[in-house]
Structure 1
Amino acid sequence: MNAERHVTAKSWRYGLAAMAMSAGLVVAPVHGVAWADTGDPASTSHDATSSDSPSTSGGPAAPSTPGTERADEAEDTSGQPRTAALQPKTDPKRAGAGPRLDRGQPLTTRRVERSVRTARAAADSAVAIAGAGAVAIADPTPQPVSPEPTADAAAEIAAPALAGALASAAVQVTTPVPPKPLSPIAQVLELPGRIVNAVLQFLDLTSAVGPRSPFNIAPINDLLFAAFREIERLVGLHRTPAVQPVLPTMTYTGPTDRPTPTVAQFLNASTAAYGWGTTPGGMVPLTVNGFQLQSTNVFSGMSGKAWVTPQGQIIIAYQGTTGGTNLLINPLITLAQIAADMQVILTGTTPLAFYDALRFARRVQEEAALQGYAADDVFVTGHSLGGWQAQFVAQRTGLAGIGFESPGLNTKVAGNGADTNFVNIAQYGSPAAFMATDLPGLQPFFPSYVPGGGAKPHYGPIVVIGDRAAMNPMVNASAMWGKSLIGSLIFAVDFLGNFFQYHLMGVQAYHLDVDPDPGVVPWLGTGQGTVHTGYGELTIQQLLQAASEDGILIRP
């Protein structure tokens, strides 16, 4: 009788263990997948000098992943597929307009398939363990006494661990959490900046989508640059140089169906980075605890913000030199930003601002994963210094995006990212993007031009816009650099004149067929020449195809 009770009690314990494992599969919490830190020492430095918003520390830290590659290596550590589809250019002509926007859903098919496979594997394991428990319950044979743990005790000990392991293996298919609005405090903090921007737009000092200003500064702008171009003509800088290198164009034959933000969205996010309290048209902040996810380091010069597009994708936008109207509240950052510019141009090193930008991108990736965004729904952008930082981040993480008017990098990788989905847009006439060795124009002021590379190349394919003749004064002036004091002075003056004439975002908006929004696009500049109709509505891959067909896609 005692033996029967012992068998019955042990059978009940086995049954309870099996039910506990089954229940654990159902009710155990499923954790979001966070991005792991790649272990770059620079990415964890400067904590004492970095001023992040409260939202940057709201989420849990990401676990480290064994085998994760270092961020300073040349390989893509993001897990994003590369588009190895660029070949030497064969047909530079394009028959018609570029392809139009073809949007997709943020939740990709491969995420669903991966989650289904994981769920099936977990279910199969549960069935197998449940079957084993049933066999143990049906076995009435009494077990001999042993100093080792009995089978029923082992089952009681192992059941919770097995249930937890199987539950954690199940991956829940999620869609991004709708962005939450800014808290009332955050909205009040942005109000002064919005008032400043409204006043500047009313005075026509900035221009954007919306009501037109009763003032019109454009004639003054046009008169100033017309006089400047006349001086260039009198000095003889307008002449076509005797030698004009042939740029190594490329042909894009890859897909065009990857959903990404449009050229206009990238440009507007880059523009908003210059404004205090400005928002890119149609976008909302990526928020944590009621505040926008952003980071600023006054001492390194890095400042970045994260935005969410109406299509559910995240754009990390880095601020360019001077910070625009941000100078009203943070004027000291300009000194650090100019120092970062000079460090990249005049030395072979990489400034701390670039590593701060990398660290911020990783924080955004972690938070995006926690809020249900796919890894390939995060992008980077920026203008000038901001585009420089976006290039560096793309080189280190594999993130896609667009950089506007940024020079070449001191860090190089095999192929210079020619087969990636990070694109540089360069403006003829602006000296910024031509401060590189893969675009001709500023030699001998800059290191020697090397088609498709050199000492300071861009990362990612280059789309050149505007009129190539606009580069003639800069090419001729750079040849005078160092020859005499007067020659160097002429180059410096011409450099600054062309910088303000062609470098600012309003000129890129003109050539890319974009109506800029928000209102921090300077009126200063000259928009003339080719307008690439429809480019503003193109995704990254569609831009690559359109530029390839137009013969303006250049190999870095």
Structure 2
Amino acid sequence: MFHVGVAAVAVSIGILGAPAPGVAWADSTESTTSVATPGASGSGAGSADNGSAGPTDRAGRVVGPLDFPKRFTTRRAEKVDERPADLSASVKGALDRAKDRWMRPVRDTDISDSKADRIGQTAALSPQTADGQMPEQAPPIDPAPEVPVIPEPVVVEPDPAAKQGSAPETLTVRDKLALKHPLAPFVRTARQELSAVVATLTPPSGLPADAAPNAQTPPVRPSGTVPTEALAPLAALVSTTTVDTTPTPPQPLSPVAKLLELPGRIVNAVLEALDFTSSANSPTLPIGLGPINDLIFGAFREIERLLGLWETPPPQPAVPTMVYDGPTDRLTPTVAQFLNASTAAYVLGSTPGDLKPFVVNGRQMSRTNILTGMVGKAWVTPEGQVIIAYQGTTGGTHLLFNPLIAIPQLIADLQVVFTGTTPWAFYDAHDFAEEVLAEAALQGYSEDDVFVTGHSLGGWEAQYVAQQTGLAGIGFEAPGINTTVDGNGADSMFVNIGTYGSSAPYMATDLPGLQPFMPPFVPGGPNPGDGGSKPHYGPIVMVGDPAAMTPLYNASALWGKSLTGSVIFMVDYLMNFFQYHLPGIQAYHLDVTPDPGVVPFLGTARGPVHAGYGKLTIPELLATASDDGILFAP
């Protein structure tokens, strides 16, 4: 109601205050369309003191014709008859001045847009003729200047015959994946965005030479383009724009961020004292849980022997090896840095080795999604590279603060193993990587200086992110994934490291051993489709003792034969999982001092040690594993 009242008041003020040219009120006995013409004696219609000049209003003003509704005209006419017969000189003078004011020519600026149509239709706006009569039709009002109409752009279609000789269109692996699973685009730098704008605005070349416009035909440009001369300032800006590629040194955490991390660090200090976690310099208890661990797994080995699981296993298909002869001079983080970053994802309040947090706005860039189970953190190496580390199943000692995260992580594990779909945790991991890429670009890091890693479920997520983005990295103890591409990244800089005896990397179709529990084995290779339905992405490096797979080979042959056989397989699967799967076992075989470590006493750290592997970069790892015969095709 308040808005309605305001509108009514505004309309009333507009009607009373608008300049009104001479208006004649029709006599009550005439129709609403009849008008009274002013008299022509002496001074004519413009005279102020001539009573015969024509009808006047109540104030004595001479008015001109205007059509109004009949009810309004009749009421006003009755009031005009009641005006006084004679007026004093002073009043008549005031009326004369008022008449001059009201009878002046109406200017365009005095007419509001809302009244233009009504005023333009009245004859009062037109000058009178010589005999005092109004012209039959008011002269037309000059229209607004015409706005030039730009012709609709015409897209020049290329000659179909020209396409026949062109090369077939090729799609990259990332393009094909984007068609299947649309993903958030990588946030580009200002220079890249500007270059993209110029590329889209530049008129296409290859138009016929005789396509020049003539004087009668306006120039035609393809839709969405602008004149070349308009691009000159923008092109100059792009050519002179430089992007600082020197990474910004890692920033310190803000006091608030340090305070938020303090509880975790206190808890981790207590766990180190109890030997549940470790660091490079942490002391160990004189009497730890290691002997109990060895006793449990030693006893289990004897049970396996009693069940015949250490007998000569059935013949297994040969896994094709790879030969790496590429360059080894690309600077990447080392195997030790990747492994420590992966392990730190399990250790609450820890820092991986000599790495520092990748800080944005005073806080380490990280993400924890309780619904999907994805947990990721970004670190910076002393060499100026960013490592994105994803957390594995259960979260390790993080369970003390966030025990519910284990539920969606276990669901994600089961979804990948028993279905052909991709869990939301993988998509969430990809989104987090894109955010890190964008922030890293703002701090001067190139995309080649960003890497991914993770252990177990974290290695799964790292695989998927590497497949979707092309990022390099290392995944530890990860099974195969359900999204496949041509070649499965055999020529990529992402490497999977698995351990003989661990059941996790064998939950794939490019490594034999867990069939028929897993889908059939399909050897990896250069042909599309190789690797089966659940292959790894990227080359596979196997460490440890190959003989450790013997119990799993024999136990998997019992799966599905009987209830007892299936139970034996599942128990052996789980015991070998805990014996060889944890990061401390990979650290032992890769010649890495764990920093940090989680439950360092758990597992069996025996067998061959690949000396010097911990110091290798990704290309050096590929070359060395190729020479050692432990590099396999996905």
Q: TM-score, normalised by structure 1?
A: 0.71
Counterpart of 1:383 (choices 455, 462, 474) is 455
Q: Partner of 1:348: helix, strand, or coil?
A: coil
Deviations 1:54-112 (A, max 9, x none): xxxxxxxxxxxxxx94753599x9999xxxxxxxxxxxxxxxxxxxxxxxxxxxxxxxx
Pairwise CA RMSD of aligned residues? 2.5
Q: Specify the SS of the correspondent of 2:178.
A: coil
Structure 2 CA distance, aligned partners of 1:197 and 1:517? 13
The alpha carbon displacement at 1:188 in A equals: 1.2
Give the conservation status (yes or no) of the 8 Å contact 2:372–2:409: yes
User: Match for residue 284 of structure 2?
Assistant: 213
Which residue is 1:534 aligned to? Answer: 612
8 A Cα contact 2:347 2:398, kept in partner: yes
Secondary structure class of the residue paired with 1:171: coil
Counterpart residue type for residue 526 of structure 1: T
Q: Which residue of 1 aligns with 2:342?
A: 270
What is aligned with 1:463?
541
- Per-residue deviation, 1:285: 0.7
User: What SS is found at the alignment partner of 1:476?
Assistant: helix
- Conserved in 2, the CA contact under 8 Å of 1:78 and 1:397? no
Structure 2 CA distance for aligned equivalents of residues 201 and 400 of structure 1:
32
Report deviation, 1:173.
Answer: 3.6
* 1:214 CA displacement: 2.6
Alignment match, 2:591: 513
Code of the aligned partner of 1:333: I
2:388 to 309, 316, 338: 316
Deviations 1:384-436 (A, max 9, x none): 00000000000010000000000001100000110110000011111000000
Q: Does 1:425 align with 2:497?
A: yes
Are 1:478 and 2:559 counterparts? no
Of 256, 278, 283 in structure 2, the residue corresponding to residue 185 of structure 1 is 256
Do structure 1's residue 299 and structure 2's residue 346 form an aligned pair?
A: no
> Partners of 1:350 and 1:79 in 2: how far apart?
19
Is structure 2 residue 247 aligned with structure 1 residue 176? Answer: yes
8 A Cα contact 1:381 1:403, kept in partner: yes
Is the 1:340–1:351 contact (alpha carbons within 8 Å) kept by the matching residues of 2?
Answer: yes
**C-alpha deviation, 1:343, in angstroms:** 0.3
Q: Does 1:72 align with 2:72?
A: no
Q: Which residue of the partner structure matches residue 348 of structure 1? A: 420
Q: Distance in 1 between matches of 2:276 and 2:310?
A: 30
Kept in 1: contact 2:185–2:434 (CA 8 A): no
Amino-acid identity (%): 65
> Is 1:78–1:399's contact at 8 Å kept on the other side of the alignment?
no
Equivalent pair of 1:73/1:396 in contact (CA under 8 Å): no
1:407 matches 2:485:
no
Shift of 1:475: 1.3
| Distance in 2, Cα, partners of 1:78 & 1:547 | 35
Question: Aligned AA for 1:464?
Answer: M
| Paired residues of 2:584 and 2:598 also in contact (CA < 8 A) | no
Q: Is the 8 A contact 1:387 1:405 kept in 2?
A: yes
Q: Check the 8 A contact 2:273/2:285 in 1, yes or no.
A: yes
Q: Counterpart of 1:554 in structure 2: which amino acid?
A: F
- The 5 Å alignment of 1:148-297 reads 163=233, 166-169=236-239, 170-215=241-286, 216-297=288-369
- The residue number in structure 1 matching 2:134 is none
Corresponding position: 1:501 with 2:584: no
Q: Which has the higher contact order (CA 8 A, sep 6+)?
A: 1
1:447 aligns with 2:524: no
Mapped partners of 1:485, 1:78: distance in 2: 46
Unaligned runs of 5+ in 1: 1-67, 81-113, 119-157
SS at match of 1:251: coil
Match of 1:16 in 2: none
Paired residue type of 1:278: S
Shift of 1:474: 1.0
Give 1:539-550 correspondences, 5 Å limit.
539-550=617-628
Supply the distance in 1 between the matched residues of 2:415 and 2:468 (Cα, whole angstroms). Answer: 19
Contact 2:491 2:538 in 1 (8 A): yes
Corresponding position of 2:567:
489
Q: Distance in 2 between matches of 1:306 and 1:214?
A: 32
Q: Which amino acid aligns with 1:524?
A: L
Alpha-carbon deviation of 1:190? 1.1
In the alignment, which residue of structure 1 is the partner of 2:411?
339
> Is the 8 Å Cα contact of residues 556 and 569 (structure 2) preserved in structure 1?
yes
SS in 1 for 2:323: strand
| SS across alignment from 1:252 | coil
Task: Describe how 1:53-72 pairs up with structure 2 within 5 A.
Answer: 69=175, 72=178
